[in-house]
Amino acid sequence: MSKKYTPEFSRIVNTEEQVSKKEKIILEASAQERAALAKRFELVSIDSLTAELTIIAASNGEVTVRGPMHAQIVQSCVTTLEPVPEMVEDEVKVLFSPHVSEEDMPSNPDDLEDLSEDELMALLDQPEPLVDGKIDVGEVVSQFLAVAMNPYPRKDGAELPEAALVEEEADEERPNPFAKLAGLKEQLEKKK
């Protein structure tokens, strides 16, 4: 039995009920939503998350969602684990189409393994499925936050601990065991 995923920051927009072809909405995540997203993205905290989005419906049924996203987050330094604050700003831009189905989209990372670089780039340019005219713009903003934040946050001046540096140097000085095997093989061949 599959469990249905419920996004932590969900704001459903029904594009079929839009009064005009262009609508502006302002999103702001609550403290509870920010805490849940911080847990999902393994962050220390998300202190603010806002977006000002314009939703534009085209006559062919396609919908564009675009606008600025801002977040104030705190991550753990990759070397010292100390808190590292970061201001994340990005431009949300996604095209949704009723002419694309969810079956057309890859369902897991293994589906991407055999694709060429051109095929991957074409997949990135492909519109997202628009199902029943509904878009979860909160989840869209959450995904843009996940991609835009620094994947390797580092506190200013943070360096690897001395023990890690000593271990790295020891690895460099240690002889390669395969080099010894190659030398042994060479000696055995000479004896033949």
- H/E stretch holding 3 reads none
The phi, psi pair for 183, rounded to 5°, reads -65, -40
Do the beta carbons of residue 68 and residue 92 sit within 8 Å? yes
For residue 116, the model assigns a pLDDT of 73
76-86 mean pLDDT: 92
- H/E stretch holding 28 reads strand 22-28
- How are strands ordered across the β-sheet holding 83-97? 22-28, 45-57, 63-76, 83-97, 128-129
What's the burial of 78, exposed, middle or buried (CB within 10 Å: 0-12/13-18/19+)?
Answer: middle
Entry pTM: 0.73
Return d(Cα 138, Cα 141) in angstroms, integer: 5
Three-state DSSP state, 75:
strand
How many other β-carbons are positioned within 10 Å of the β-carbon of residue 50?
Answer: 14
pLDDT at residue 75 tops 80: yes
Confidence of residue 1 (pLDDT cuts 50, 70, 90): very low
Do the beta carbons of residue 174 and residue 95 sit within 8 Å? no
Return d(Cα 188, Cα 192) in angstroms, integer: 7
What's 18's DSSP letter?
-
What's 15's DSSP letter?
G
Confidence of residue 57 (pLDDT cuts 50, 70, 90): very high
Return d(Cα 142, Cα 33) in angstroms, integer: 10
